[in-house]
């Protein structure tokens, strides 16, 4: 049986931990949910970029691109789209290259590039993602993006959901996330309410992004499994 491992922050990855494995990057609020939504609605690709200035420069050079992302949850000056998955409708993004920079999610994606394959995970694509991982058969490492170097509860809950669905042999880190997800879902009366108890969800709700949190908790609504090709620097649909 393949194994499933997990880290609560990309900075916790040890050298060689990703070798020969599939990495799944998770930032359910909101970067990876947004990436799944954008590709599902027809974006040609997502180009994850670490910095706001880097994204501006790159978008300027790519004729077919739109500039997307957030800092402190808010769309930076001159950007076309923020980081709300609900903004990524087909009219705006069809066939576009979305140059995306977010505070933690896009950084985590780049930190996963030592893996054999880097997939993008969210609650919205959990079923398609797990069936893709199962068909592949390799060991998996889940990488939670966190928030500014701090562990994010909602990412651990998302990881727990994937661990539950896959039923692979779990490391202690992965077992911890699974039990956190199971326990919190019971304690709060459902997965969504557990997510809403997290610091980042509360902050987004206060900022008026409650619908994003709701959307990010919808299980298996997308069949899109985004793959990051670190050589060309693009995320495309599997």
Q: What are the residues binding ligand MLT (CB under 6 A)?
A: 27, 29-31, 70, 73, 83, 102-105, 147, 204
Rank residues 164 and 214 by Cβ distance to ligand MLT and give the closer one.
214
Structure token digits, residue 218 = 């919808």
Q: How far is the CB of 201 from ligand MLT (least distance, A)?
A: 9
Of residues 13, 3, 48, 1, the one with CA closest to residue 144: 13
Strand partners, 118: 23, 228
d(CA 15, CA 38): 32
Q: How far is the CB of 82 from ligand MLT (least distance, A)?
A: 7
Q: How far is the CB of 214 from ligand MLT (least distance, A)?
A: 14
d(CA 159, CA 178): 7
Of residues 222, 224, 238, 233, the one with CA closest to residue 97: 233
Rank residues 110 and 165 by Cβ distance to ligand MLT and give the closer one.
110
When CB distances to ligand MLT are compared, the closest residue is 102
Rank residues 4 and 9 by Cβ distance to ligand MLT and give the closer one.
9
Element (H, E) at 21: none
Q: How far is the CB of 31 from ligand MLT (least distance, A)?
A: 4
């Amino acid at each position: 049986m393949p194994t499933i491992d997990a880290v609560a922050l990309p900075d916790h990855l040890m050298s060689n931990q990703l070798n020969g494995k599939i990495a799944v990057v998770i930032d359910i609020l909101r970067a990876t949910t947004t990436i799944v939504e954008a590709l599902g609605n027809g974006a040609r690709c997502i180009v994850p970029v670490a910095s706001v200035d880097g994204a501006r420069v790159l978008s300027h050079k790519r004729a077919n691109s739109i500039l997307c992302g957030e800092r402190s949850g808010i769309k930076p000056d001159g950007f076309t789209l923020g980081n709300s998955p609900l903004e990524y409708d087909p009219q705006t993004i069809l066939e576009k290259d979305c140059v995306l920079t977010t505070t933690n999610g896009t950084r985590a994606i780049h930190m996963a590039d030592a893996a054999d394959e880097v997939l993008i995970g969210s609650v919205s694509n959990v079923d398609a993602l797990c069936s893709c991982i199962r068909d592949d058969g390799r060991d998996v490492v889940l990488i939670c993006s966190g928030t500014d170097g701090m562990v994010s509860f909602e990412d651990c809950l998302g990881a727990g959901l994937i661990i539950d669905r896959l039923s692979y042999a779990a490391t202690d880190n992965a077992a911890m996330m699974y039990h956190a997800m199971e326990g919190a879902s019971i304690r709060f009366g459902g997965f969504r309410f557990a997510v809403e108890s997290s610091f980042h969800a509360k902050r987004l709700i206060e900022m008026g992004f409650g619908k994003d949190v709701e959307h990010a908790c919808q299980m298996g609504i997308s069949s899109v499994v985004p793959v990051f090709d670190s050589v060309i620097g693009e995320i495309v649909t599997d």
